[in-house]
Amino acid sequence: MCPESSRNIREVQCASYNNKPFMGRFYEWEPFAEVKGSQKCELNCRAIGYRFYVRQAETVIDGTPCDPNGTAICVAGQCKSIGCDDYLGSDKVIDKCGICGGDNTACKVVSGVFKHTLTNLGYHKIVEIPEGATKINITEMSKSNNYLALRSRSGRSIINGNWAIDRPGRYEGGGTMFTYRRPNEISSTAGESFLADGPTNEVLDVYMIHQQPNPGIHYEYIIPGDNVISPQLLAHRRPGEPLNGQLGMPESTSHEDEDLHRETDILTGQSAGTFPVIQPGRFPSHQPENQVPAMQPPRQNREYNWKQVGKTECTTTCGKGSQYPIFHCVNRITHDEVPEGYCDSSTKPIPEEEACNLFPCPAFWDIGEWSECSKTCGLGMQHRQILCRQIYANRTLTVQQYRCQHLEKPDTTSTCQLKICSEWQIRTEWTSCSVPCGVGQRTRDVKCVSNLGDIVDDEECNMKLRPNDIENCDMGPCAKSWFLTEWSDRCSAECGDGIRTRSVVCMTNHVSSLPLEGCGNNRPSETTPCNNGPCAGKVEWFAGGWTQCSTECGSGTQQREVICVRKTEGNFDVLNPYECSYLEKPPSQQSCYLKPCGSKWFHTEWSTCSKSCEGGFRVREVRCLSDDMAASTQCDPQLKPEEKEPCNTQDCVPEIDENCKDKYYNCNVVVQARLCVYTYYKTACCASCSRVANRQPGFLGRR
């Protein structure tokens, strides 16, 4: 074992310079953590309480970690990685099968998606997890009102069994620990999930409690392949733990040509910024040997031994928890506590787990999720499962309901109404038959109307109850004849020559189109000329080009000019807008969005001033918001608007009422007698009484 100080060996190396002067002064040193790249294996130390650092040695002691949380170590000034086989410079890594240096062929990844359409509510088996499976991941592809469930082949429910929905957490089953997550714990759009490292020691079955259409369940696990040997994972060393069990300390290191790093404001007086590198030359006055003092434990003898001084707190307040004894090193005679170094660490008793608070926790009602409403509109019902549960030995058990009789039992059913149902309405009477004789059709307007009277999509109403909106009509037999419709109302040209059209059909005693000879050769014309007048002088709206967006980022607006013009021969005359009022006017403004702004400062309006004179202040609230108006911390603090400012700094001047005067010369007597509280004297000696009132805090003109 390495000494405890080896965990922070870089700190020990920097601290060895605490008693050595630098530039004529003594400092306390700590590792400088902001070095990167080739500097990782230099001994760069920062003066505690100062803004500069110094390269105390070109290389750290062999075996020093390159990074605080990494596994690579420094050897001869170079950062060397350690493979999973614990050999320095090895590039071997653990493959997905858990084998160091493996090629992923010793195991098999089984994955797929369960997409079957389910109809019946309740439990449906999805996938079977075999014995020996590892890296198990069962995840809903999107959120839903369904639930995942897990049980063993022995019939024991592990998660969400017996129509009871368990809370998210960790559950033991099949020889491994499963983590059950719900959608509200996951930032993505995925639904529920089971995760476990494995391996399992029995076959497990995954079910889905079906309540709504299946969104798809992705499953994946790893099983050993043929001729697989058990993975032999080497124990990982702590960062900085050496290969041979000890860290070597060099006897001495020359520092005469080392580079010194510190911030410029210490020696040059320039403004402080990052941590620049400077080379002031040689400093032989602080170049003693770089020898880290060895940590020598106190002498161990039989005067001291280990003594139990208490126990840790119980991990739970009920339902069976655990606690451990606490051992301290004490004087065998006086029983006074001494540092642990006085006792032999090899004889320290190993704390063994002890059960505590064995009594069961009070029973409670475990309330399941509400089912979907039985009706999509109108009054319906919904249900939920209520179970009496009790926690013991870190497991939640279902118990008899009489144990929860001291608690009010929650309702298991409830009425629900997602919305008021829409209904069919017949808005018009039947039209006349489509033909004057023979069999035709007639129609009427049928709409789906909400409870608010709005017309909504037909799907909002019960399609089975929809009244007919079209039916046949028989107008009696027809003779062979040409049947015509009315001419169309609109001319094909807005101005100048155009045509109007109509439909022409030859009909007999039933609706059918016959050859021309059936009604004769005198087929009526289907077109007729029309003219809406000359095109010159036409009045219309004319729209110009859009202006630039009003903002460089985020939502803004842009405008364009829209004018009423009359087209003449090769020219346009601008008219008063009312000349085009009968035409639909194009929009003169529209929204625009160039790019997201990122986080920006927003503020409210200023509050009213706290005082009307002699210097008050007013305030406003300032917030940093992102593009979606959510709170953010990405705004530039230097651009933050002021939240408080002074106001009304002018002197206070009492208001003088010309109608408030003393009617008597001796009003001072009224004031001295404190008669100003009476209406008569307050009016007769108005000026004197007002002056007395103004001497009190809050007189007129101040707030």
Q: What is the pLDDT of residue 291?
A: 37
- Closest residue by Cα to residue 215 from 117, 82, 112: 117
- Closest residue by Cα to residue 222 from 129, 143, 360: 129
Q: What are phi and psi of 609, to 5 degrees?
A: -70, 145
Q: What is the mean pLDDT of the chain?
A: 78
Q: What is the pLDDT of residue 467?
A: 92
63 and 36 housed in the same domain: yes
Q: What is the pLDDT of residue 480?
A: 67
Q: What whole-number percentage of the chain has pLDDT above 90?
A: 16
Cβ atoms of 177 and 201 closer than 8 Å: no
Does some domain include residue 46?
yes
- For residue 157, what are the domain limits? 107-224
Does some domain include residue 253?
yes
Q: Which amino acid is at 292?
A: V
Which has more confidence, 249 or 319?
A: 319
| Tokens of residue 170, six digits | 């960790």
137 and 216 housed in the same domain: yes
Does some domain include residue 238?
yes
89 and 3 housed in the same domain: yes
Q: Return the minimum-mean-pLDDT range out of 80-94, 543-557, 581-595, 639-653.
A: 80-94
Cβ atoms of 295 and 270 closer than 8 Å: no
Q: What is the pLDDT of residue 50?
A: 87
Does some domain include residue 182?
yes
Q: Return the minimum-mean-pLDDT range out of 84-98, 208-222, 613-627.
A: 84-98
86 and 27 housed in the same domain: yes
219 and 272 housed in the same domain: no
Q: Return the minimum-mean-pLDDT range out of 300-314, 359-373, 686-700.
A: 686-700
Cβ atoms of 686 and 671 closer than 8 Å: no
Last residue of a domain, which of 186, 204, 224? Answer: 224
Does some domain include residue 132?
yes
2 and 79 housed in the same domain: yes
Q: What is the pLDDT of residue 536?
A: 66
Q: Which helix (H) or strand (E) holds 173?
A: strand 169-173
182 and 243 housed in the same domain: no
Q: What is the pLDDT of residue 221?
A: 93
Q: How far is CA 63 from CA 69, 102, 246, 604, in A?
A: 14, 27, 9, 58
Q: What radius of gyration, in Å, describes the C-alpha atoms of the chain?
A: 45
Give the SS3 label for residue 510.
coil
Cβ atoms of 42 and 55 closer than 8 Å: yes
Q: What is the pLDDT of residue 564?
A: 92
Q: Nearest 10 degrees: CA dihedral of 670, 675, 679, 681?
A: -10
Q: What is the pLDDT of residue 654?
A: 65
48 and 117 housed in the same domain: no
Check: pTM over 0.95? Answer yes or no: no
Total number of domains in the chain: 4
The mean per-residue pLDDT over the stretch 108-122 comes to 86
175 and 207 housed in the same domain: yes
Q: Which residues contact 636 (CB under 8 A, 6 or more apart)?
A: none
Which has more confidence, 540 or 226?
A: 540
The mean per-residue pLDDT over the stretch 487-492 comes to 84
Q: What is the pLDDT of residue 496?
A: 65
The separation between CA 609 and the C-alpha centre of its own chain, rounded to angstroms, equals 39
| DSSP code at position 149 | E
392 and 343 housed in the same domain: no
Last residue of a domain, which of 198, 224, 250? Answer: 224
Residues in the chain, total:
703
113 and 216 housed in the same domain: yes
Q: How confident is the model at residue 301 (pLDDT cuts 50, 70, 90)?
A: low
Q: What is the pLDDT of residues 570-590, one digit of tens each?
A: 677 888 888 888 888 899 999
3-state helix, strand, coil in the chain (%, to 5): 10, 30, 60
- Closest residue by Cα to residue 46 from 27, 66, 63, 29: 29
4 and 52 housed in the same domain: yes
DSSP 274-325: S--EE-----GGG-----PPP-PPPPP-TTEEEEEEEEPPPS-SSS-EEE-E
pLDDT of 557 over the 60 cut: yes
- What is the rounded CA–CA span in Å between residue 530 and residue 532? 7
The separation between CA 472 and the C-alpha centre of its own chain, rounded to angstroms, equals 59
Does some domain include residue 256?
yes
Does some domain include residue 536?
no
- Closest residue by Cα to residue 682 from 700, 667, 703: 667
Q: Is 700 exposed, middle or buried (0-12, 13-18, 19+ CB in 10 A)?
A: middle
Q: What is the CATH number of the domain that holds 135?
A: 2.60.120.830
Q: Which helix (H) or strand (E) holds 500?
A: strand 497-501
Q: What is the pLDDT of residues 327-353, one digit of tens each?
A: 999 988 888 889 988 898 888 888 888
Q: What is the pLDDT of residue 53?
A: 87
| Tokens of residue 317, six digits | 């307040």
Q: What are phi and psi of 134, to 5 degrees?
A: -130, 170
Cβ atoms of 212 and 372 closer than 8 Å: yes
Return the residue matching tokens 């953010």.
632
Q: What is the pLDDT of residue 547?
A: 92
Does some domain include residue 375?
yes
pLDDT of 296 over the 70 cut: no
Q: Which amino acid is at 483?
A: F
Q: How confident is the model at residue 477 (pLDDT cuts 50, 70, 90)?
A: low
pLDDT of 611 over the 60 cut: yes
The mean per-residue pLDDT over the stretch 92-111 comes to 81
Q: Which residues contact 615 (CB under 8 A, 6 or more apart)?
A: 646, 647, 648, 649
Last residue of a domain, which of 184, 207, 224? Answer: 224
Q: Which residues contact 374 (CB under 8 A, 6 or more apart)?
A: 380, 381, 382, 416
Q: How confident is the model at residue 508 (pLDDT cuts 50, 70, 90)?
A: low
Q: What is the pLDDT of residue 509?
A: 46
b/e per residue, 461-490, with b = 16+ CB within 10 A?
beeeeeeebeeeeeeeebeeeebeeeeeee
